[in-house]
């Protein structure tokens, strides 16, 4: 079984709809991340969480919210989807080793392809 | 200016060629540096971490220049299977990626 899973894998929705993307991990990592990927722009950080009680905004958090329900689960919500949120969304995890200021290897889920019409 | 910048390419090289990618970053306090590989429509996967003294893993060599704030990746003896997008990562910030195609 995959260590980092994302559901759904593909989703088509309409403008204005609320949508939730879910991420689960079995790696036992404390840190979890949400990124979006657009052609030519690479991965951009939306939100990250260093433990269950910690939520931090990334580069492009406007229009998104997150919930860290447990160590293993980190969900991303689009409260009112708009077409420019059409993208490939990745969840990732990493462990803590080295201290808060050190970032370790991230392990990615397979991605969720979201289309907002 | 983006925090992490890469030449988007594409780089088209013949098998056996040596190819180098560079990546510049703006945050001088950064402490973690990586190269990831991403195949088409797949998730990124770690290729190698980049250490201050430079490091090598088979055909791949990574280097860090803190004074000039860039990291590099050198691929020797390119294989067809090296065709992918290579992503530079500084901390939690990703570059846009450099597309490499190795041709027979």
Q: Which residue of chain A has the CA closest to B99?
A: A40
Residue A87 CB-half CA count within 13 A: 22
Q: Which residue of chain B has the CA closest to A43?
A: B94
Task: Judge: B44–A90 Cβ closer than 8 Å, yes or no.
Answer: yes
3-state DSSP assignment of residue B96? coil
pLDDT confidence of residue A102? 67
| pLDDT at residue B63 is higher than 90 | yes
Q: Which of residues 28-67 of B touch A (CB under 8 A)?
A: 31-32, 34, 41-46, 49
- Worst-scoring range by mean pLDDT, A6-10, A37-41, B13-17? A37-41
Task: Judge: A42–B91 Cβ closer than 8 Å, yes or no.
Answer: no
Q: Mind listing the pLDDT tens digit for each residue in A35-83?
A: 999 987 889 999 999 999 899 999 999 999 999 989 999 999 999 999 9
Cβ-proximal residues to B49 (8 Å cutoff; 6+ apart), any chain: A105, B32, B33, B34, B55, B62
């Amino acid at each position: 079984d995959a260590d980092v899973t994302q559901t759904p894998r593909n989703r088509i929705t309409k403008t204005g709809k609320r949508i939730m993307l879910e991420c689960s991990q079995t790696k036992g990592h404390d840190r979890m991340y949400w990124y979006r990927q657009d052609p030519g722009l690479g991965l951009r950080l939306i939100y990250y969480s260093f433990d269950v009680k910690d939520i931090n905004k990334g580069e492009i958090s406007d229009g998104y919210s997150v919930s860290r329900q447990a160590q293993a689960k980190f969900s991303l919500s689009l409260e009112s989807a708009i077409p420019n949120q059409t993208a490939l969304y990745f969840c990732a995890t990493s462990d803590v080793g080295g201290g808060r200021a050190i970032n370790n290897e991230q392990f990615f889920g397979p991605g969720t392809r979201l289309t907002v019409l | 200016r983006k925090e992490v910048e890469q030449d988007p390419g594409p780089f088209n090289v013949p098998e056996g060629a040596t190819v180098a990618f560079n990546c510049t970053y703006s945050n001088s306090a950064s402490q973690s540096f990586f190269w990831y590989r991403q195949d088409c429509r797949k998730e990124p996967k770690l290729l190698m971490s980049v250490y201050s003294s430079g490091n090598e893993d088979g055909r791949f060599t990574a280097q860090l220049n803190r004074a000039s704030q860039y990291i590099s990746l050198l691929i020797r003896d390119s294989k067809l299977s090296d065709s992918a997008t290579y992503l530079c990562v500084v901390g939690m910030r990703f570059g846009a990626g450099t597309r490499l195609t190795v041709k027979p």
